[in-house]
Amino acid sequence: MWQYNPRVAVIKGVRTPFAKSGTHYARLTALDLGKLAVTELVSRAGIDPKTVQELIFGNVIPSVKAPNIAREIVLGTGLPRRIPGYTVGKACASANQAITSAADLIFRGYADTVIAGGAESLSDIPILFSRNFADALVGASKQKSVGGKLGQFTKLRPKDLAPDAPALAESTTGLTMGESAEKMARENGISREAQDKFAMQSHVRAAEATASGRFKDEVMTVIVPPGFDNIVEGDNLVRGDTTLEALAKLRPVFDRKYGTITAGNASPLTDGAAAVLLMSEEKAKAEGHKPIGFIKSYAFAATDPFDQLLQGPVFALPTALERAKLTLGDIGVIEMHEAFAAQVLSNIQWIGSKKIAQEKLGRAEPLGDIDPETINRTGGSIALGHPFGATGARIVTTVCNELQRTGKQFGLVTVCAAGGMGVAMVLEKE
Ligand SMILES: CC(C)(COP(=O)(O)OP(=O)(O)OC[C@H]1O[C@@H](n2cnc3c(N)ncnc32)[C@H](O)[C@@H]1OP(=O)(O)O)[C@@H](O)C(=O)NCCC(=O)NCCS
């Protein structure tokens, strides 16, 4: 069965503190955030920038002006200009795609040192004109006389002037992520109480991990440009004082009448960036680096978005484990991306279900049971935030650091993504 051999080493990972959109980084772009994370990564890893051979970055809502954020990061950080860069978009698994693409380059021997990661600014989303208004603008630009230019706008209706912002909705199903998660909660019988309990666990653990200094290895300090008078030292979405009572009082957002998903048990709209440095095992050894982990295997998969949209990881997991020649029982550290508490609990339910194994995975037996209390030991996306393009790199870094801290040998990352996609990655300590 296929796996990386020789292995691909994760040398270091670093991220900006994550911030609720519209707060600390309200005036920054995803590119600004990506540059901050990559600059810090290169400095912390102590590598010669000349040795980097490629930069791959995930970004879900690209800037219209600089869509290839990866190359812009190279050009904007003082890295040697001969380093190529490309940007990947695989929804919330974009940084995972960046990391696995980097690992594939290294495995093939095409590179031995690659930076991968992702960035997102939900404070800086492109607001588009309607198609009719855009046509009028283009038409006016082609007219020579003032009358001709103005004439292009006479057919517009008031609704054509309304701005068009990107929605967090599937273009195939028309449902938002939140509505899709509501559907999963309903079909799997995931109660509001169970979701709130899981959300509280995320906050309490994230607060504890922050207070204990556990994130120092992976979270940088950002002195926010251009004023440099705001020093951001940690994530600003974590609420260590969250209680079940406070969570229970929040109104459902996506199905106001019968729904169970609230601002408290969903991941919030977030700005941030994360980056990891990957090397071939041989190069890492030759340069005296102590890797924080190794990538053992991965698998991407997809399911029908009209079924349960955020169950992609369930389909990716068996392949990733088979490729690593491991079973779920071998895994000591599990990090599952928390788009919604309802999604994590649904993923866990399906992973443990014999019926799902037989009907959807073509397996006689399920992979095994995961206790929600044993995963995401330092909190997850509900508490820490979820800058779409960056989350995968945050989680890979956290799993590696947790493997080092706990001494466990194998770690698992799962991330669900729009379009019914999902990824599972198996990491190992040494
Ligand atoms: C759910 C969502 C709509 C909420 O957005 P929002 O209304 O701007 O959220 P806020 O942070 O303002 O929180 C709303 C309220 O809940 C409260 N709240 C949020 N989390 C809480 C917690 N853990 N404990 C107690 N109260 C909490 C806030 O204090 C706020 O209260 P207020 O109105 O009295 O100020 C938004 O976060 C969202 O769209 N999330 C999903 C994103 C998504 O789809 N991602 C894709 C996943 S793959």
| Angle between the N-to-C axes of helices 192-211 and 341-351, in degrees from 0 to 180, rounded to the nearest 10 | 110
Q: Among candidates 53, 1, 4, 56, which has minimal Cα distance to 295? A: 4
Amino acid at 217: D
Cα–Cα distance, 169 to 382 (Å, whole number): 19
Q: What is the mean pLDDT of residues 128-156?
A: 89
In the chain, the N- to C-terminal Cα span, in Å, equals 20
Cα–Cα distance, 226 to 247 (Å, whole number): 37
Q: Among candidates 58, 52, 55, which has minimal Cα distance to 97? A: 58
Distance from the CA of 261 to the center of ligand 1, in angstroms? 10
Length of the chain in terms of residues written: 430
Residue 177, ligand 1, Cβ within 6 A: yes
Distance from the CA of 16 to the center of ligand 1, in angstroms? 21
Distance from the CA of 252 to the center of ligand 1, in angstroms? 10
Residue 267, ligand 1, Cβ within 6 A: yes
Residue 200, ligand 1, Cβ within 6 A: no
Cα–Cα distance, 208 to 228 (Å, whole number): 28
- Residues 6 or more apart whose CB falls under 8 angstroms from that of 403 comprise 292, 293, 332, 333, 409, 410, 411, 427, 428, 429
pLDDT score of 168 more than 80? no
CA angle 345, 123, 231 (to 5 degrees): 95
| Angle between the N-to-C axes of helices 69-76 and 30-45, in degrees from 0 to 180, rounded to the nearest 10 | 60
pLDDT of residue 3: 65
The DSSP 8-state label assigned to residue 284 in this structure reads: H
pLDDT score of 405 more than 90? yes
- Quick: pLDDT tens for 84-133: 999 999 999 999 999 999 999 999 999 999 999 999 999 998 888 888 99
Task: Return the structure tokens found at 372.
Answer: 């929600």
Residue nearest to atom 5 of ligand 1 (CA): 263
Cα–Cα distance, 345 to 116 (Å, whole number): 29
Place of tokens 């796996």: 3
239 conformational bin, left if phi > 0, alpha if psi -120 to 50, beta if neither: beta
pLDDT of residue 7: 85
pTM: 0.96
By most ligand atoms within 8 Å of CB, the mutation choice from 21, 238, 269 for ligand 1 is 269
Task: Return the structure tokens found at 162.
Answer: 């309304």
Residue 269, ligand 1, Cβ within 6 A: yes
pLDDT of residue 37: 98
Distance from the CA of 345 to the center of ligand 1, in angstroms? 19
Q: Are 121 and 23 in contact (CB under 8 A)?
A: no
Average pLDDT, the chain: 96
- Quick: pLDDT tens for 213-254: 999 999 999 999 999 999 999 999 999 999 999 999 999 999
Distance from the CA of 111 to the center of ligand 1, in angstroms? 42
Cα–Cα distance, 303 to 90 (Å, whole number): 14
Task: Return the structure tokens found at 373.
Answer: 């209390």
**CA-264 nearest atom, ligand 1:** 20
**CA-337 nearest atom, ligand 1:** 48
Q: What is the mean pLDDT of residues 71-81?
A: 97
| Angle between the N-to-C axes of helices 341-351 and 312-324, in degrees from 0 to 180, rounded to the nearest 10 | 50
Cα–Cα distance, 175 to 115 (Å, whole number): 35
Task: Return the structure tokens found at 5.
Answer: 């051999």
Q: Which helix (H) or strand (E) holds 193?
A: helix 192-211
pLDDT score of 1 more than 60? no
* Alpha-carbon distances of 337 from 60, 112, 249, 316, 385, rounded to whole Å: 16, 28, 25, 14, 10
Taking residue 11's Cβ as centre, other Cβ atoms within 10 Å add up to 24
Residue 34, ligand 1, Cβ within 6 A: no
Catalytic residue numbers, as ranges: 92, 386, 416
- Residues 6 or more apart whose CB falls under 8 angstroms from that of 290 comprise none
Phi, psi of 345 (to 5 degrees): -65, -30
Residue nearest to atom 38 of ligand 1 (CA): 268
Q: Where are the beta strands (DSSP E) in 177-258?
A: 222-223, 231-232
Residue 250, ligand 1, Cβ within 6 A: yes
Amino acid at 349: Q
Q: Are 274 and 37 in contact (CB under 8 A)?
A: yes
| Angle between the N-to-C axes of helices 341-351 and 177-188, in degrees from 0 to 180, rounded to the nearest 10 | 50
Chain centroid to Cα 203, Å, comes to 18
Place of tokens 């004439």: 151
pLDDT of residue 270: 98
